[in-house]
A = this chain, B = another copy of it.
Amino acid sequence: MLCVVIDQQALLLEDRVTPSPGPGHVLIATTASGINAADILQRRGHYPAPAGWPVDVPGLELAGHVVAVGPDVDPQWMGRHVCAIVGGGAQASHVLVPADHLLVVPEGVAAAEAGGFAEAFLTAYDALALQAQLRASERVLISGASGGVGTAAVQIARHLGAHVTAVTRSAHHGELRALGADEVCHPDQVSDVAPVDVVLELVGASNLQLVLGRLAPFARVVVIGLGGGNRLDLDLRILMATRATLTGSTLRSRSHEEKSALAQRVREELLPAWATGALRVMIAGTFPLTEPEAAYAFFAQPGKFGKVVLTQAAAP
Q: Which of A's residues lie within 8 Å of B, judged by CB?
A: 204-205, 208, 223-224, 226, 230-237, 239-241, 243-250
A249 nearest CB neighbor, chain B only: B243
Give the chain B neighbours of A230 by CB distance below 8 A: 235-237
Q: Are B223 and A236 in contact (CB under 8 A)?
A: yes
A131 nearest CB neighbor, chain B only: B243
Other 13 A-B pairs with CB < 8 A, given A223-B240, A234-B246: A205-B236, A223-B236, A226-B237, A230-B235, A232-B235, A232-B236, A233-B234, A234-B234, A239-B248, A240-B250, A241-B250, A244-B247, A244-B248
Q: Are A234 and B231 in contact (CB under 8 A)?
A: yes
Q: How many angstroms from the CA of A56 to the CA of B205 in the assembled complex?
A: 40
Q: Are B232 and A234 in contact (CB under 8 A)?
A: yes
Copies in the complex: 2
Please report whether the interface of chain A is mostly helix, strand, loop or mixed according to DSSP: mixed
Give the chain B neighbours of A248 by CB distance below 8 A: 236, 239-240, 243-244
Give the chain B neighbours of A247 by CB distance below 8 A: 239, 243-246
A234-B231, A234-B232 given as contacts; is B246 within 8 A of A226 (CB)? no
CB distance from A184 to the nearest CB of B (A): 24
Give the chain B neighbours of A231 by CB distance below 8 A: 233-236
Q: How many angstroms from the CA of A35 to the CA of B205 in the assembled complex?
A: 38
A229 nearest CB neighbor, chain B only: B236
Give the chain B neighbours of A223 by CB distance below 8 A: 236, 239-240
Q: How many angstroms from the CA of A237 to the CA of B231 in the assembled complex?
A: 8
A226 nearest CB neighbor, chain B only: B236
Q: How many angstroms from the CA of A223 to the CA of B205 in the assembled complex?
A: 20
A253 nearest CB neighbor, chain B only: B241
A223-B236, A226-B237, A237-B226 given as contacts; is B246 within 8 A of A246 (CB)? yes
A241 nearest CB neighbor, chain B only: B250
Give the chain B neighbours of A246 by CB distance below 8 A: 234, 239, 245-247
